[in-house]
Chain A
Amino acid sequence: MAGTLTRKDFVSNQEVRWCPGCGDYAILAQVQKVLPEFGVAREKVVFISGIGCSSRFPYYMNTYGFHTIHGRAPAIATGLKVTRPDLEVWVVTGDGDGLSIGGNHLVHALRRNIGLKILLFNNRIYGLTKGQYSPTSEVGKVTKSTPMGSVDFPFNPIAVALGAHASFVCRAVDVEQKHLGEMLRRAHEHRGGAFIEIFQNCNIFNDGAFHELTDKPLKADYQLILEHGKPLIFGRNRDKGVRLNGHKPEIVTLANGASEKDLLVHDETDPALGFILANFAPPMPTPIGVFYVDSRPPFEAEMNRQLERAKEQRGVGDLRKLLYGGDTWTVS
């Protein structure tokens, strides 16, 4: 039955209520497009979200869904995934929900490697509360709550995820539909916890935050698409590459004496390289794609194994023995 599903099967009957032009639409569309391709039965799919614009997501998916409270989606999803490893559990969160109020739950879910697919919509602003700066807003950001500019140093979500030892870390862009679909597929196929940062445009409160990455004439020069085993090349003429000088990355022009074999070759399994890439800052291009993957077993698998082992070793729990065993005495 799963094989015959189409996009329509994943569209709920609820009217979508994001602002017209919001990047969330593109992400929703892509998720609804690729999910049927995964071959997972619809009833096995659960979307769990916190609070924020992005967290309305579950209402629009015709799957099981739970719109919870601010920042807590990873914790709720953890309880579900641990007891129901048969389910495919997606978490939808944002930069405020996931990195500010819910930062603790996010890093611990990643550290434990709970088999959740966590989509962090990063628009670098608080949208639902009408435009305050967020933990990913740049220093100096002028918003309603920072009239003289923000003095907060921002989080780098990819570096946070790597720092938490997430077992799958990638970045996508809302309007880069094909690439986003590919990242969703990789996340689905990953057995442990997957973290996907999605650059998402909030056209109302932070329009154009990622315009270099999305504007046609610019993006080739600013975007670096990561591909495992391939050298890091970018630029509209694909004539720029990245090479390491010690631990420092630098841009080289291929025509000027540098050849492809001097370039840094991407290795998804190298955490140190992941960190270097995560910390690319201008003039370096912005990497998108998979930064890091490892295959350590997910938490829920290990925990359920312990339960099984306990049953093998001690037998399936017998309540009578539990209560009446041990130091009892009889009064007659």
Chain B
Amino acid sequence: MALPGGSAGQEEGARPRAPEAPQQPQRKPVIQRSQVVVRFAGDSGDGMQLAGMQLTAESALAGNDLATLPDFPAEIRAPAGTLAGVSGFQLNFSSNEVFTPGDEPNVLVAMNPAALKANIDDLSTGAIVIVDKEAFTESNLKRAGYESNPLTDHSLDRFQVFEVEVGRLTTLALRELGLGNREVQRCRNMFVLGLVSWLYHRPLEPTLSWLNRRFEKSAELREANLRAVRAGYNFGEATEIFASSYQVPPARIEPGVYRNITGNSAVALGLVAAAVSAGRPLFLGSYPITPASDILHDLAAYKNFGVYTFQAEDEIAGVNAAIGAAFGGAIGVTTTSGPGMDLKAEAVGLAVKVELPLVIVDVQRAGPSTGMPTKPEQADLLMALYGRHGEAPLPVLAAATPADCFECAYEAVRLAVKYMTPVIVLSDSNLANGAEPWRLPELERLAPIKVEFRTDPEGYQPYLRDEQTLGRPWVIPGTPGLEHRIGGLSSEHLTGNVSYSPTNNELMVRIRARKIAGIARELAPTTVFGDPEGGDLVILAWGSTFGAVREAVKQARAAGRKVSHVHLRYLNPLPADLGAVLRRFAKVMVAELNLGQLLKLVRAEYLIDAFGCNKVQGRPFKVSELVARIERALK
């Protein structure tokens, strides 16, 4: 068996091929596939996220459509080799349109017994399992809770198992570099990335250039990682273990410029784009919380856009500082997850009352309480809609995909300044960390965001409203002649002076409610995927379930079912035509990762006998689950 990295000649000969040139000599048979789901799993220190992200970059260059899902352990450094410490990254790449990270992996890369054990039940029969054979020691098996070695006890017989000595092969490839064992072992992820890249004809260029950038300052580590990737790649080609490789031809993708984007990064970019469009500085007041912190990290790097990031002492200070910034004329934003939403409620109510623009991003995670911080759920909907004391309505938007987070963040700022109101954007941990190719928007086509501070003292009153939007004028301190006071106490129509008049209070409550309800006027008519004229069943959904629902509906339709899909971006106000649209269907099923929150709303709002499809396992819907649920619903 020729080992990788042995001679310069061999390395030269094994230069990675780009998929655009599939005709290059290939010793082994090549099998065509239309879709592959790969999952990397290992200890949280094994670099599985990086391997997964690089395979994603390679697949994007290969022209596939794709979706990803990282799965982080809740503990930062759980004991090595235990189930609690397993970190995973799943990538679905395809020649067709991709909506989800995939139900069942076709390939599992398991760096140790715990990683195998935590993931093996998700695999379909015949799946490829690549394990680091050396990690299957007695102590590791015990730590993972195996009583016998799965590599020898035939429990894996229904899979194609490939045992690779990843550690030894990586060591061999790096032996001339004189690195310590620790550094060498840290390159194992690049070895398996190289191997999987070979197996699926992925172009290595994105990974090589990424490594060059990442280790710009350390020639040694750069060389080590580059060698490890190439070694893995060459090993695939040279070894007898793999009899064939697979090709996944490019997908037909809408023309445009693309980049991969996670939901959190898309939120950050959407906020910056909106602030630039509005011509105002952006102020983020935030407190670190999983899974929202990356928005804070991203924005902290955009200071040259006039972005202030303020890491506050707590969630409450984060939102209040954002309100203070909005009072001064900035685009005030706070980002958080469920527990932080609880804490911010009072301040959000203040922003509703004083009618200042504010954007609150809730990256939902599984609750209640601390719950499962790294896992997705959609159970904050009713809190977003109603979780404040008093009558305190505000617009609520939910992003459907990682790229859609850009649009929603942008739209939230637009609505906030147009209607002078706080706006909640719901994302979740699936969108936050999941990535997909994003067709970049043409900047000229982004909706304009107009901010005009009132400066004319003539006839000014703090609550004199715009006739159309009912928004009050935004006047910022520093404007001569317009000095005024706002506050949380009930205030008089027009003047804003403190008022305890019962009728005035009701008037103001009703005006604010009308202002928010009126946003429905500018919402596009509801689009129905499937049968716009009506049919047997419509699935109503919102947020990150988009991909799974759309794929399931597609499959059911291919099997002849009259099923449609309506996906909501605006949860408040709801689109004006939604009730009428839903009534065109014999059955309405509301699919969501909670126990029926949108369901309650729809039943209350439209008196429709809708029913739910619900899951609260800290996991997204599987397409297969939804397809089965559709079949049952149609019986």
Contact = CB atoms under 8 A, between A and B. Distances in A.
A328 B260 CA distance: 8
A317 B302 contact: yes
Contacts of A270: none
Given A69-B350, A72-B320, A331 B330 contact: no
Contacts of B312: 75, 108
Contact of A79 (B302, B307, B320): B320
Nearest to A309: B303
B103 interface: no
B448 interface: no
A72 B317 contact: yes
B586 interface: no
Contacts of A64: 477, 483-485
Among A309, A316, A329, the most chain B Cβ lie within 10 Å of the Cβ of: A329
A78 B259 CA distance: 37
Contacts of A324: 257, 440
Nearest to A80: B324
Interface of B is mostly: mixed
Interface residues of A, number: 59
Nearest to B441: A323
B478 A329 contact: no
A62 to B, nearest CB: 6
A51 B488 CA distance: 9
Given A83-B308, A322-B305, A14 B497 contact: yes
A71 to B, nearest CB: 8
Interface in B267-297: 269, 272-273, 276, 281, 283, 285
Nearest to A64: B477
Nearest to B277: A319
B23 to A, nearest CB: 22
Given A14-B498, A59-B485, A87 B478 contact: yes
Nearest to A329: B258
Given A41-B480, A43-B477, A82-B310, A67 B488 contact: yes
A87 B328 contact: yes
A305 B352 CA distance: 33
B273 A82 contact: no
Given A67-B487, A78-B321, A317-B276, A327 B260 contact: yes
A41 B477 CA distance: 11
Nearest to A55: B487
Contact of B443 (A81, A313, A323, A326): A323
Contact of B324 (A44, A48, A332): A48
B454 to A, nearest CB: 13
A19 B276 CA distance: 49
Nearest to B63: A331
Given A67-B489, A327-B259, A315 B304 contact: yes
B400 interface: no
Given A67-B487, A69-B346, A332-B255, A84 B328 contact: yes
B37 interface: no
Interface string B471-492: 0000011111111111111000
Contacts of B478: 43-44, 84, 86-87
Nearest to A88: B477
B229 interface: no
A84 B273 contact: no
Interface in B344-384: 346-347, 350, 354
A208 B79 CA distance: 61
Nearest to B479: A43
A320 interface: yes
Contacts of B269: 322-323
Given A79-B320, A108-B313, A12 B272 contact: no
A254 B323 CA distance: 55
A105 B269 CA distance: 29
A63 to B, nearest CB: 5
A104 interface: yes
16 contacts: A64-B477, A64-B483, A67-B485, A76-B327, A79-B283, A79-B321, A86-B478, A104-B313, A104-B314, A317-B276, A317-B305, A319-B273, A322-B302, A323-B440, A323-B443, A331-B258
Given A80-B324, A307-B308, A323-B440, 14 more contacts: A12-B485, A43-B482, A64-B484, A69-B488, A72-B316, A79-B310, A82-B321, A86-B478, A87-B477, A319-B276, A323-B441, A327-B57, A327-B259, A332-B255
Interface of A: 12, 14, 41-44, 46, 48, 51, 58-59, 61-69, 72, 75-84, 86-87, 104-105, 108, 303, 306-307, 309-311, 313-317, 319-320, 322-324, 326-332
